[in-house]
Amino acid sequence: MTTGAPLWPFPDPIPNEDLVGVGADLTPATLLYAYSHGLFPMRVFADGPIGWWSPDPRGVLPLENFRFNRSLRRAQRNFLVTVNTAFEAVMRGCADPARPHGWIDESFVAAYVRLHQMGFAHSVEVWEQSDSHEPVMVGGVYGVAMGGLFAGESMFSRTSNASKVALAALVTRLRVGGGVLFDVQWRTDHLASMGAVEINRSEYLAALTLAVGRPQLTLVN
């Protein structure tokens, strides 16, 4: 898959340094080039400049590793899951200013909504159902898909287990939809409990090259 060159030159990553560069923009060409070369954007600090990151080591969640334990299977029965029905709302859930270390601002929302409209960004939504009112969104996850890569960006939860259910639904759909590489950026304890591991940057870039060369993955309800 080709994305064209961005207007901005990206420097080569420095060994053992996660931050590659600062600046540039969030146009589709820049974003797609970055993801296809192992980079993703995140503000260096709130209201600060855009940083371009390539963690070393990199967090990935091998699809075969995901842990569907008994409690998660029980929790799944309590929610309704949809795909790509409320992408912007999921982003805004992830951008909730009440969450610590928030950095998703209006420029990021606009940029990723545009990628969603182009078919490169996807969301999974988790809804709480009730007989007395319409379903209420209580969790979700979103990210960027290129070939067989899904680059997870952020997830949120407003009730117990909602983000785990979103992640489980995403993994299930990636398995059947052509996903081969699920990038989670950094391995946190939370993600590690569900099967995430760390690999070094060279391993990640080799896997990325193979992944983005595959047919575009699909996510379906």
71-124 pLDDT, tens digit each? 888 889 889 999 999 999 999 999 987 776 678 999 999 999 999 999 999 999
What pLDDT does residue 3 have? 55
Mean pLDDT of 163-191: 96
Q: Is 96 exposed, middle or buried (0-12, 13-18, 19+ CB in 10 A)?
A: exposed
Place 2 in a pLDDT band, splitting at 50, 70 and 90: very low
What pLDDT does residue 177 have? 97
What pLDDT does residue 69 have? 83
Using DSSP's 3-state secondary structure scheme, residue 212 falls into helix
What pLDDT does residue 103 have? 80
Which tens digit of pLDDT belongs to each residue from 5-63? Answer: 677 788 888 888 999 999 999 999 999 999 999 999 999 887 889 999 999 999 999 99
**Which pTM was predicted?**
0.93
What pLDDT does residue 100 have? 64
Buried b (16+ CB within 10 A) or exposed e, 44-67: eeeeeebbbbbbbbbbbbebeebe
Q: How far apart are the C-alpha atoms of 90 and 99, rounded to whole Å?
A: 14
Q: Cis before residue 55, ω within 30 degrees of 0?
A: no
What pLDDT does residue 1 have? 47
Ordered structural domains, the chain, with CATH? 58-212 (3.40.630.70)
**Residue 169: how many other CB atoms lie within 10 Å:** 23
Q: Which two tokens stand for residue 49?
A: 């400049």
**What are the phi and psi torsion angles at 153 (to 5°)?**
-105, -50
Place 188 in a pLDDT band, splitting at 50, 70 and 90: very high
Residue 138 has pLDDT above 80, yes or no: yes
What pLDDT does residue 62 have? 97
